[in-house]
Structure 1
C-alpha cells in the first residue's frame, strides 16, 4: 500500500524517528524560512494598499479636492470607482498569475517558477513606486498581481511536495502565518509614514517590497527542487539527492527509497490513464474522484474569501474611520497583531486536531462574531465609545477564528488533496478562485459600504452578508472536505478512492493502522500510530 515511511502523530514531529528528529526539524526550519518570505510578499502587498489609499499625499496625487471634511478629513478624496479599481486590480492580476502557475510550475519547476514570479513582481513594484498618475499605478498593480498570483500557487505546492507528512500541515500553515506577518508589517510601515506630506509617504511602503522579493529569490538558490516534480520529469537520481537534502538522510536510506518508490508507483498509475489537460481536472466518474477534488479546492478557496476577511485588511482603516474610531491606523495594527498571533495556534492545531474539525469550528466562531458586529454596528451611534470598543473586540475575535482555522488550513488542503498528475493545474485553478473572489469582493465593497452617490451605504450592515457566508462554510466543510491529517499525498489518493468526506475520519484511522502493519512487517523503523 503506498504511504511513505511514517504516519502522523499528535503534534509536530511526534512520530518522527527519535534519532533523526534533528534532520526533520531542520527541514521544517528551511521550509518555514522560505514560507516567511513567500507569504510576506503576498501579505505585505495586500496590506499596503489599505493604508496607502487614505494617505493625504496619495489622495492629493491620485484623487481630487473634497469639500466634506467630515467624510474626507484629509481634504482630498477618490471616487468609489477609482478606489475599487486600485484595490481590486491587483487581484485581477493574481487571478491570471495563479492560472499561469500551472505551466510555470510544470515547465520551469517549482523552484525556478518561484524565482521567475519574483522578477515579474518587481516590475510591478517599480511601476507603482515611480507613478504619479492612476494609469501607471494600476498597470503596476497588475504586474505585481501576476507575480503574487504565481507565488501564492507555487509556494504551497512546493511546501506540500517537499515536507514530511507529519509536519506538512504545519509547514504549509507557516505560509499563512507569513502572510499575516506581511499584513502586520504593512500596517506598521503605513502608520510610520502616514504623516509625511510628500510622495515618500506612499512610495516608501511600496518600495520596501523589493526587499522581500530579493530575500525570497536569494533563499531559493539554496533550496532543492521538489523531488516529486523531478520524478515526474524522469530525473530520478536528482530526486533522490533532493529528498536526501530535505530529510538529512543518505540518498540510499531505506526510508527515502520507500518514499521515492511510493511516488513512482502513484505517478505510474496516473500516467496509465494518459496525458492530462485542464479538462481532465473535471472528469466525472474518475476512479480518483478528480472532479470532487478539483471542485472542493476551487470552492474552498472561494469560501475563504467569502468569510469577508479581506474586507478588514483592504478597507479596515476606512471602515474604522467611518465608525467614529479616532485612529484607524493604530486599530489596523491591532487587528493585524491578532492575525499574526492567532495563526500560531492554527499551525499547531492543524496537526493536533485535524483539518476538517478546525474548519467547522472556525466557521461557527466567525459566523457568530460577524452577526454580533453587524448588530452592534446598526444599534449604536458613532459617538458611543463603549459600543465602538465592543465592535473592535468582536472584529478581533472574528480575525482570531479566521487566523487559527480558515486562514492557514485552506492553503494546507489545496496543497495536498490533488493527485500528482493534475496537481499543478488543479491547484492553479483553486488559487485563481481565491483571487477571483478577492477581486470581486475588493471591487464591490466600496459600492456596498460607502455613503456616496451610486453606493449602497451598508457600512457595518455588510457583516450580515459575511455572517451568512460563514454559515455556508459550515455546510460546505461537512459535506466536501475530508480529514487528511497525517496522510502522505499518496495515501490521500487512496482515501478519495475508497470513502467520502463525511466518512473520512474513520477511514483515515483504518488507513494509518493498515499502513503501520505493512511497515512493521517490512521491518521499517517507526513510532506508534497516532491516537485519534
Structure 2
C-alpha cells in the first residue's frame, strides 16, 4: 500500500493541494508585514505624523534610519515592531485554548476579522497610542493566521504530500516579503500620509481573499473526529481527496490474493485508499481517547508527549538559531556601513534568492531528501555562510570588499535557509506532535519562536553597535556555533518522518522508538486500518466512495 500511496502525484492530489494552498496563503500576511512595516518607518510621510524632530534632517524629521544605530531609533519605531511580536506571541500561546471551541476555519475567520479592525485603526489614526493598539491587534491576528493555517495543512495533507503542503508556509512568507518590499519601494518617496497608508491598506488583501476562500475549504477531518463529528469528518476527507483516491485500489501486503500488478479474484471487497485512510484516522483517534482521555494543556509535558513537545520546541528554536533574524533585521544596516550603494535593492534581491530556495526545497522534500537530511544540509550551509561573513568582517571591517562579501553570503544564506530550514521547519514541527494536542503544542512553540525573534532583535544592537561591544558582522561567529549545535541536534535526536501518516507517528512515539530507528519501524495501525476497511467494505457491497 505504501508503494501505491507514494506513487500518487501532485496532480492526483491537486484538489487537496489547491485547498491547502488557499489556507496557507494566510502566511503571506506575516511576510508582507515583516517587509512593509519595517521599511515604512523611514518614510517622510510616516515620520511627519509619528516621527520626531531632527535638526540634522533637511525636513526637520529623522527620515534616514541608516544615519542612526538601532539603539538610537525613536520609541515609536521600536514599539511598532515589538508590539506586533507581542500580539503574535500572545495569540499563539492561547491558540490551544481557542481550538477547544473553534475549528481551524473558524479561528482563521476570527483572525481575518481582527486583522481588518487592526488595519482600520492604524490607517485612520494620527495618535501613537492608538497606533500601538492597532499593531498589538494585528499581531494577535498574525499569530492565529500562522498557527492555524499550518496546523490545518498538516492535518489535511496526505502523509506522502505533507512535507510539500506544509512547506507552503515558507513559500507564501517569501511572496509576501517580496510584495511588501515592492509596495514600499513604490511609495517611499511620497511626502504625504499615503506613503504609509497604502502599504497598510494592502494588509487587507490577504485576509479578504482568505475570508472568502475559507467558504470553499472543508474543516480539518481530524479536528472533527476529535469532536465526535464522524459524518462531517468523513465528508471533509472526501472533499479534500476528491475522486482520485476512490479509483486507486489500496492493496496492502498480506491481503492481496492476486499477482504483483494488483489483480485479484474479486475486487468487491478491496478498499480504496480513501477508505483505508479514513479507517486509520478513526483508529488513531479512538486509540488516543482510550489511552489519554480528554485534552489538557499540561498533557504536553507528560509521558511520551514530553519528548514530542521538546522536539517541536527545539525545531522552532532552530529557526532562530540559524541567525536568520539577525540578517533580516540588520543586513541593510551592514550593507550601508560597508558602502554598498544599493543596500535596499540588494535586500530585495536576497528575498528573491530565498524564494528560489523555497521552490527547490519543496521539490527536494518530496523527491530527494527526507526531513532530517535537508535540515542537516541547511544548518551546515547557514553556519558556513555566517562564518564567511564574520571572517570577512574580521579581516577588513567596514570595507567595500567586506560589503560585497556580505551581499554574496547573505544571498546564499537566504537561499539555503529558506530552501532547507525554513521549508522543513513547520512540516516537522506540526507532525512531531499528537493530533489532540497539536494546537496547544504548535501554538506554544510558535510563541517561543516569536519570543526568540524578539530576543535576537533586542540583544543584537548591544553586540554590533560601536558604543557597546562593536562586533559588527563578527557577530556571525555566534551564529556559526549555534548552527553547529543544530547539526548535532538534527543528527542525533530528529527522527525521519517522511511518508508516515500522523497516526503512524503516534504509534511510533508511543512505542518510544529511538530517532535512528524510525525509518525501519513497522507500524501496525495501517494494517489494522486496512482490515477494518475490508470488513466495512464487505458489509457495504453496492456502495462506493
**Aligned with 1:300 (options 296, 311, 315):** 315
Q: Is the 8 A contact 1:80 1:446 kept in 2?
A: no
| 3-state DSSP of counterpart to 1:299 | helix
Pairwise mapping of residues 349-498 of structure 1 onto structure 2 (< 5 A)? 349-352=364-367, 353-384=369-400, 386-451=401-466, 455-498=468-511
Q: Is the 8 A contact 1:87 1:443 kept in 2?
A: no
Higher RCO (Cα < 8 Å, 6 or more apart): 1
Show the counterpart of 1:312: 327
C-alpha distance in structure 1 between counterparts of 2:435 and 2:529, whole Å? 23
Q: Is the 8 A contact 1:39 1:175 kept in 2?
A: yes
C-alpha distance in structure 2 between counterparts of 1:110 and 1:372, whole Å? 43
Show the counterpart of 1:15: 7
Show the counterpart of 1:529: none
RMSD: 2.9
Show the counterpart of 1:527: none
Show the counterpart of 2:296: 277
Show the counterpart of 2:18: 29
C-alpha distance in structure 1 between counterparts of 2:475 and 2:116, whole Å? 35
2:268 corresponds to 1:249 = no
Change in CA separation of 1:450 and 1:120 when aligned onto 2, cut-off 3 Å: farther
C-alpha distance in structure 1 between counterparts of 2:86 and 2:3, whole Å? 38
Q: Is the 8 A contact 2:147 2:443 kept in 1?
A: yes
> Where do 5+ consecutive residues of structure 1 fail to align?
1-5, 525-532
Show the counterpart of 2:279: 261
> Where do 5+ consecutive residues of structure 2 fail to align?
247-270, 536-545
Show the counterpart of 2:46: 58
* 1:256-313 alpha-carbon deviations (Å, 9 max, x no partner): 2322222222122221232231211101xx2xx2101001111211221232212333
C-alpha distance in structure 1 between counterparts of 2:531 and 2:298, whole Å? 41
* 1:117-155 alpha-carbon deviations (Å, 9 max, x no partner): 111122222222233343222221111110111111101
C-alpha distance in structure 1 between counterparts of 2:30 and 2:283, whole Å? 35
* 1:299-336 alpha-carbon deviations (Å, 9 max, x no partner): 21122123221233334333322332222221111011
C-alpha distance in structure 2 between counterparts of 1:235 and 1:257, whole Å? 17
TM-score in terms of structure 1 length: 0.87
Q: Is the 8 A contact 2:154 2:431 kept in 1?
A: yes
1:378 deviation in Å?
3.2
2:192 corresponds to 1:179 = no
TM-score in terms of structure 2 length: 0.85
| 3-state DSSP of counterpart to 2:31 | helix
| 3-state DSSP of counterpart to 1:424 | helix
For the pair shown, the structure with the greater C-alpha radius of gyration is 2
C-alpha distance in structure 2 between counterparts of 1:366 and 1:8, whole Å? 34
C-alpha distance in structure 2 between counterparts of 1:457 and 1:58, whole Å? 31
C-alpha distance in structure 1 between counterparts of 2:145 and 2:532, whole Å? 42
C-alpha distance in structure 2 between counterparts of 1:470 and 1:22, whole Å? 36
C-alpha distance in structure 2 between counterparts of 1:171 and 1:405, whole Å? 15
C-alpha distance in structure 2 between counterparts of 1:56 and 1:456, whole Å? 32
Tell me which stretches of 4 or more aligned residues in structure 1 moved more than 6 Å: 75-78, 250-253, 520-524
Change in CA separation of 1:119 and 1:258 when aligned onto 2, cut-off 3 Å: same
Change in CA separation of 1:130 and 1:349 when aligned onto 2, cut-off 3 Å: same
User: How many residues are paired up?
Assistant: 502
C-alpha distance in structure 1 between counterparts of 2:228 and 2:529, whole Å? 28
